[in-house]
Amino acid sequence: MGPALVEALLSKFPDHEDDEFSKFIENNNHNGKWLISSDFCINAPNHPNRTWAISIIPMDDDPEKISDRISLAIPKDLKHVKNISQQAIDLFKNTQMFHFAFILKGHQNIIPYATGIKDPEATKNYISLLISSLNNSDCPRERLKPFKLLLETSRAKGFNHKLFADMIATASLLSFISVKLIRRGAHLIGLFPDRDKMTSWCDGVYSDFVQLYIAGVLEKHKEQTSCYEIKKAVPAATQNNGTWYDDFVRLPDYLAGVIAKWDIDSNIIDSEKQKSFFINNIVDAKNIATIRITFDRELLIEKIIAKRR
């Protein structure tokens, strides 16, 4: 039942004083409050990489002020701008923010590696066991609701295994980053995902998996951490397009759009707009990490270093 992908990432990237992300946390953990925004570019045509982008920002100021600073530099999503401005380039060089781009390959094998399910059709058994385990641990009924809804959905004939896999991947990546923050004293983490089927499915069950995976890792290793709280942002019911926290999501929107376009093996990006951002912000960056995860006969996790041609 454990978060296998989270464990694999933590093992591959342990906490070290010379690790760039660990340095970032140490330098910016002023009050233990963090904001994590995420966006995804995973089904776009003519984009070679299925990309999950995640931005981490310390909440050392009023969230509205942070939002305003982002909005001044990048007032529109990447797809709505002709050229990337100097203000946007400067914003992403700001070392008070850190960004991850995860490239996932071998989609059909995500579920076995992330959950231990060898047969995707056994998903409902996995969820049933999960609910039984939570029941045995005296889990509050309210917390069980999203999992029960997911179980009911999994019994349908047209259950979307691909969406389930993408949701589990999203929860695993957010959990990996959250555990790193909690280990260094975070006590409040806000999740601000782009509005997407993965994050709205079954009443936003992705965040319940995040909670579950974080607790699973910390309990397994018997880690003594301070009390922490994970809160998810919810789009206003009256908003048909976008969210009230669009400015935060615009950071990973830019990163996902650029990394998804990057042909890593040939080191080519066939869009001048994305190429400008790549050269100015991703090559030699200290606050952007690109990680490729390949789900094949073996799980391969590698950090990709961007270089000038």
Q: Is residue 254 a part of any domain in this protein?
A: yes
Which pTM value belongs to this model? 0.92
E-strand ranges in the chain read 33-41, 51-58, 98-105, 188-193, 229-232, 262-263, 268-269, 288-295, 299-304
Task: Answer whether 70's CB lies under 8 Å from 35's CB.
Answer: no
**C-alpha to C-alpha distance for 283 and 293, rounded to whole angstroms:** 20
41-59 pLDDT per residue, tens: 998 888 999 999 999 999 9
Spatial contact of 289 and 99, defined as CB atoms under 8 Å apart: yes
Give pLDDT < 70 ranges for the chain.
1-2, 17-18, 107-108, 112-122, 224-225, 235-242, 309
- What pLDDT, on a 0 to 100 scale, did the predictor assign at position 242? 64
Question: What was the pLDDT predicted at 240?
Answer: 58
Contact 163, 154 (CB under 8 A): no
CATH code of 25's domain: 3.30.420
3-class DSSP state of 149: helix
Q: What is the pLDDT of residue 1?
A: 41
Per-residue model confidence (pLDDT) at position 110: 75
63 assigned to some structural domain: yes
Question: For residue 18, which phi and psi values (nearest 5 degrees)?
Answer: -95, 5
Asked if residue 123 is part of any domain, the answer here is no
What tens digit of pLDDT does each residue of 200-235 get?
999 899 999 999 999 889 888 777 667 899 999 876
Confirm whether 132 is domain-assigned.
no
Q: Is residue 178 situated within a structural domain?
A: yes
pLDDT attached to residue 117: 65
Residue 250 lies in domain: 4-111+161-304
Q: How many domains does the chain have?
A: 1
Query: In this structure, what token pair is assigned to residue 222?
Result: 């018997």
Task: State phi, psi for 145 to the nearest 5 degrees.
Answer: -55, -50
First to last CA, the chain: 44
Q: Is residue 31 part of a domain?
A: yes
Is 128 within the bounds of a domain?
no
Please tell me the predicted confidence (pLDDT) of residue 241.
62
Q: Which of 267, 239, 286 is nearest to 95 (CA)?
A: 286
